[in-house]
Each structure stands twice: as C-alpha cells, then as structure tokens.
Structure 1
Amino acid sequence: MSEGEKQMQRFALIGAGFIGAVHAASLAAHPGVRFELVYDVATDRAEALATTHGARAAADIAEVFDPDRIDAVVIGSSTDTHAEHLRRAADAGIAAFVEKPIDLDLAAARETVAYVRRSGIVAMVDFNRRFDRDHAELRRVVQAGEVGAVELVQLSSRGPASPPLEYVRVSGGQMRDQTVHFFDLARWICAADPVEVYVTGSALADARITEYGDVDTSVATLRLPDGGLIQIDSIRRTGYGYDERIEVMGASGLVESRRQACGNVVRYGGVSAVADGLHPGWFERVQPTYAAAMGAFVQALEDGTPPPVSLEDGLKAQAIAEAATASLRSGRPESIDYGSGAA
C-alpha cells in the first residue's frame, strides 16, 4: 500500500435510495476517498449501488461501524434512523456526514447532538446549498460589508411539482422539509440568528395536503436581532420549472444570486426573443452542490479542522422550522427557541 493510499479516507454509506445514490457517486469520484461499503435494509439495492461504484455491500450494519476498517460514514437512510446511526458512529469513534434532519423531534435531535459532541467525532449536516457557487459569493459580498448593514433578505424556494402524498405524510411539513434549507441559508448569509418568525400558507396545488396539516404555498417572515427582515416564499408546484434565488438589500446596495436557466441560448426573431427556461427540477439545479459538500467534509477530515456545517447549525435551522410550523398553525408570530445547548 502506497503512502497516498494510506492517507485516503475509508468511507461507508448507509442508504441506497435516491440520496444514497447521489452520495455514492460523490464518494466514488473523490480522489481522497476509498469507498468501501454500502448498507441498506434492502440488500439487493445495496448490492446494485455498491457494484456500480466499486464498493462492497455490507452483510450487516455492524461492518459500517468497524473503526478498524472505516474512517467515516455517510448517513443517507430514512429520517427515523439518523439519530441512531449518529450515536453508533459516536460510539465507534467514526466521523459522520448526515442528511437533515438529525431527528424530526427537536428535543431528541438536541440530545443526540450533545451525545455526539461528547464523543469528539467529526460530524457534519448536509446543508448542501451553502456550497452553491453563486450563493457563496453572495454571502462573501454581504459579510465583506459591500452592501452595508443588512435590511431585507428575500429568498425563493419554488419547486416544479408537488411531492407524493405518501412523502408529505412523513416529511414533517413544508417548514421542516423544504423551507429549512432556506432558514439555514438565511442565518448563514446574515451571520445572525433570527429571533422571531411569522408564517402564512395555503394549499393551492393540492387541497389534499391539508389532511396532513401541511401547505404547499407559504411565506415566512423572520426578524433579525437588529431589526432586519427576511422573507422566504416556498412553493411546492410552479408551472415553469425550479426557481431558487436570493436577494440581499443593504443600507448601501443590493446583491443577488439570480434564478438559473438550464442554458444561455437566446433566439431572436422580429421583435421577440426566446430564451432557455429554468431547470426542470430541484436536483438538476443543485446537483453540483452535493459533491462540493462532500468534498468539504473530506477536506475537514484530511486537515483535522471542524467541518463547515456543524450539527449545531442543523439544530438552529430546525429550531427555526419548529417555530415556523407553530406560527403556521397559530396564525401568530412565534419566538424562536434555540435551546441552551445550541452554540
């Protein structure tokens, strides 16, 4: 074994569904990773994904948490297993990269984070949109003070199609499932934690979603500690593709991460012009950010530095989502409780 091979991080993946397949591709392509194992309760699915990427399907999940063979685990399994797998990684002394949320129950998520932190392992939540090139440049401009003090932030999260009702039933609702990514983006961009949130919403695309206490069209307004405002519109179904954008207005200027078209060709004829439209779905728009997030996690392991998105970041975004869900139900502004354990 060469010196270069010794330095490679040995990874295992839990979950061979859609997001597991996304992470598998990132792991297999990363030059600093030895992609060793895939585990899924559906063994045929694990075997197929492992074969595709030159890994091996684990016969038992205990193999994933063997520190003699594995340095880090990617947790891309169902939401109800995230906390359990994080704890097992902590017990084994293995680094962990986990999909959000840590647990749908905020109190349970806080207990899990405290447990993991006591172990001292490296752990990161996959808020991949932080790794979007344009969003990151917008944040740099804001943090450099180039637009002055932040006064108004506007974010749009508009999906092309409503998810299946079976998914809605277990998702935790729009605030916890969709808008939570933009709660995280907002506090990351502003480097501040909102103190209050008010949400109003409707079921406009599919009235059946109300059977699960959910909405498909909503607007959330958040107040920052200094009085600055954040507005997030979340739409589950548009008629024109996937639309994601951010605008920050400061005291002395404005910076925008624009909506992205799927191409840059414009066809001119007479007095009209026809341009390429938006991406057909959210994944097509954000796909590169998954590999970038995984790359940042691997870099942190190699450098021995904290990962750029902490478990505490996950808790804070989830705390905002909980208050937003409460506001949606109460019809009133709700204070955001970050808990004594949030850092």
Structure 2
Amino acid sequence: MSNTTWIFKLFNTLSQSVIPPNIIALLIVVPSTILYLTELGVIFWFKKAFKSSFFKLFAARTISSILGLIGLCLYTRFGSVGFFLSIYLKLPGVYLAIFYFMTGYFYLVEGTCTITLLLNRLTALVWPLKYERIWKKLWYWAIILAYILPLPITWHNLFSEVVIWVHDDNATFTLYTDQNDPLIAAEFNGFFTIVCLAINLASLFVYKRTKIVSSQQTDSKQKMESRLTIYSILTFFGQLLYTFYMMILYFVATQLQNFHIDPDLGELIFLSVFNQLCWVNDISTIAIPAFLLLWASEMMHSHIYKLIRKICFLPKEDNNVVMVIPKQAFTSSTMNTKQTNS
C-alpha cells in the first residue's frame, strides 16, 4: 500500500493528534471527578441517610474508578502530554510495574463492582420488601470478592518489565510491557458483557412482571428503586462503550497483520485508536455514573444542591409559607360569620 494514499494520511494525522483528545478528556474528567468525589463524601458524611446496600456498593465502585483513574494518569496520560519524563527515567522498574498493575487491576475491580450493583438491583426487583435484609449480610462480602477476584489475573503485572519509549520530540513517551495483556483484557470484557447482559435481561423480565404487583411500597420508595435500577443499567452501557473500545484496541494491536495490512499503516491505526483512550475512559467510568446519580437519587441531588449553595454563599431558602388573604375576601368572610352567629 502506498504511503501517499488518503487513508495513510488520515491515520498519520490522527496518530499525531495527541493534544486535542487530551483536552477533551480534561474537560470531561475534571468536573466529573469533582462530582464523583463529592458524592462519595456525601455518602460517608451522611451514613444514616445513605445506609442502603446500593450506596455501599456504589461507594466501592467509585473508589475503584478513582484509583483506576490515578493509575491511568501515571501509566498513560502523563507520558502522552510529556509530563515528568526526567522523573520517569529515574524511577526504579518496580514503580512502573505498580503503575501498570493499577490500570489493569482497578479496571477489573470496577467491572466486578458493576456486576454486584446489577445483582443488587435484580434482588430489589425480585424481593422488594426483604432484599435489604439479604444484602445487609452480603454487601461487605460482595465488596471483598470484587477486590479479590481480579488479583489472580493481574498480580503478575507487579513483576512485569516496563519499558519507557521516548518519542522523537524528546518530551512525550509511552510505557510498554507484556503483549499478552490486551488479550486478557479482551477476554474479561467478553465475560463481563455476557454476565451483565444476562443480569439486565433478567431484571427487565422481572420488572415487567412485578411493576404492577409490587404496590405495597410507597410511591416515593418505588420511584427511587426504579431509578436506581435504571441507573445501574445505564452505567453498564457506559462501561460497555469502554469494553468495545478495548476490544477494538486489542484487534488493531494484534490482528491487523492477519489481514495483510501494511505494517506502517497498522502502527498508525493503533496509535490513532490508542490516542482516544483517555476520553473514552472518562466518559464511561467517571462522567456517566457521576452525573446520572444526580438524576437517580433525589436525596443525593438535594445534598449536592445544598452544598453548592453553601460554597457559592447563596442565601438559605425560606421554607416558611405565608398565606396572603385578600382584604375583600377576609371582610366578606367576617360578615358571613357575624350573620350566622346572629
């Protein structure tokens, strides 16, 4: 394939366009992370108000998302924009391996936490009156398992040899390691997608059957449970976007040569896809779950709104209601009362 073709020129341009995707990612991740951390703080500060098992599982996933974001910054983002190259070159290899471990491990933890959230919503539909009693005994075991299960397939990352590849500009750089790990990520993504789709289909089936029957709950309680269920399903589709992206990344990294693609073009295609990693990750794992919770939980929305009013030094809302009675109505009412008494 000639290097003068428009396809080569297109991917050559995309592969070198590092700054625009990172600016987009920055505009997404800063407000989303602030909101996500604020929601986490509200849950811990108002424990009695957010005592349901859903918010405990939500907090566990939020922590894994934030730690995964930190790992992604240390392993990928700083290098793509040329931050701290001199420091990275002096770091012992074990630190680079830890950065690599964080990206893979917390990504799998987040996926496992999503599965537990979907199971929580399924049990809320099947046993709407007693599911909290069930999860009262299960939630901490679910969180422990969510953080333990990914270890067998990620612990070896701590002993990986990570290579720093400095680009031609002598500023930006990329960390490289085991070529088999994209395959591991793709296999987990396939498993994650199948399990979550099965749980979602079961939830939709149960919801259609019990939507009318489960009228023993109050309207507000039923509305909250329905919104939290929809929230869990929508955040799964957000992570599904990231799953598809990782599968595409694995394909362009390892399979293009099987289709007799020019090696130079294949490298440009890989770099073009890889450059989109940050903003895809931010939308899927940070922005969607953070902002959707404001809609799903009126209680969380209320606490965030009050906090914003305090930060912006806005006056407190006056909840006292004063009834104003027109003079004419008051006079006629008084005259009618007098006539009745007489």
- TM-score with structure 1 length normalisation? 0.28
Q: Which has the higher contact order (CA 8 A, sep 6+)?
A: 2
More strand by percentage? 1
When Rg is computed on C-alpha atoms for both structures, the one with the higher figure is 2
Which has the larger share of helix?
A: 2
State the TM-score, normalized to the length of structure 2: 0.29
